[in-house]
Structure 1
Amino acid sequence: MKGQCLCGATTFNVELSNHDVHVCHCSICRRQTSGVIMTIDIKQGTLKFDQQAHLSVFNSSEWGERGFCNACGTTLFWRTKDQSYCNINVFSLENIPQDLKLNLEIYIDNKPKFYSFNNETKKMTEAEVVALFSASTE
């Protein structure tokens, strides 16, 4: 599948792992996007950039990093530093699959009280997410 940033300066191809959409409520995602970010998992090693002169990667934690276009600011991906796991901004896809399903909310204990989703989703706390990714990087 093809994807790109808002201005088109950063383009990529990717293979999706599934059509499950995840929402992150962590303070970094909320600050970065002025809301939540909605992501979709990709198959390991399939994120390939066609145009990447404006791609920047931000070291956001001990085990994670975020990719974005430094020309327009579009958030493109979050991945573990060893690149064993990566998800992309679902709205960066040129053709969004019609059968997407919101199925997971992470950092649920960081979610502000002024919004909520109607969907029934699996929910993970910050501690559960940190434990999951910390275990995979040891």
Structure 2
Amino acid sequence: MKGQCVCGETAFTVTLKDQNVHVCHCSICRRQTSGVIMTVDTVQGSLNFDKQKYLSVYSSSDWGERGFCNACGTNLFWRTKDHSYCNINVFSLEEAPEDLKLDMEIYIDNKPEFYSFSNRTKKMTEAEVVALFSSDQ
């Protein structure tokens, strides 16, 4: 699949692991997007940049980093620093699959009370997410 930032200066190809969309309610994602970020997991090693002159990577934790276009600011991916796990902004895909489904919300204990999704999803707390990724280190 092909994807890109808003301005088109950062473009990539990727293979999706499945059609499951995840929502993150952490404070960084909410601040970065003025809402939540919706992502889809990628097949390990399949994220390849065709245009990356404006690609920047931000170290957001001891174990994770975020990629974005520094020309337009589009958030593109989150991945572990060892690249064993990566997800992409589902809306950065040029043509999203039709069978996407919202299946999980993470950092659910960080979610403000003023919004909620009606979909039934798996929910993980901050401690559960941190344990999942920090145990790999």
Match of residue 35 from structure 1: 35
Secondary structure in 1 aligned to 2:31? helix
Deviation at 1:136, TM superposition (A): 1.4
Q: Could you list the structure 1 runs, at least 4 aligned residues long, displaced by more than 4 angstroms after superposition.
A: none
Q: Does 1:63 align with 2:48?
A: no
Tell me the amino acid that sits aligned with residue 12 of structure 1: F
Tell me the amino acid that sits aligned with residue 96 of structure 2: I
TM-superposition CA deviations, 1:20-77 (whole Å, max 9, x none): 0000000000000000000000000000000000000000000000000000000000
Identity over aligned residues, as a percent?
Answer: 76
Match of residue 109 from structure 2: 109
TM-superposition CA deviations, 1:88-114 (whole Å, max 9, x none): 000000001110000000000000000
Tell me the amino acid that sits aligned with residue 46 of structure 2: T
Cα separation, 2, equivalents of 1:10 and 1:81 = 20
Q: TM-score, with normalisation over the residues of structure 1?
A: 0.99
Tell me the amino acid that sits aligned with residue 2 of structure 1: K
Cα separation, 2, equivalents of 1:84 and 1:5 = 23
Cα separation, 1, equivalents of 2:118 and 2:97 = 21
Match of residue 98 from structure 2: 98
Q: Does 1:47 align with 2:56?
A: no
* RMSD, matched Cα: 0.3
Tell me the amino acid that sits aligned with residue 135 of structure 2: A
Cα separation, 1, equivalents of 2:35 and 2:7 = 20
Structure 1 residue ranges without an equivalent (≥5)? none
Q: How many residues align?
A: 137
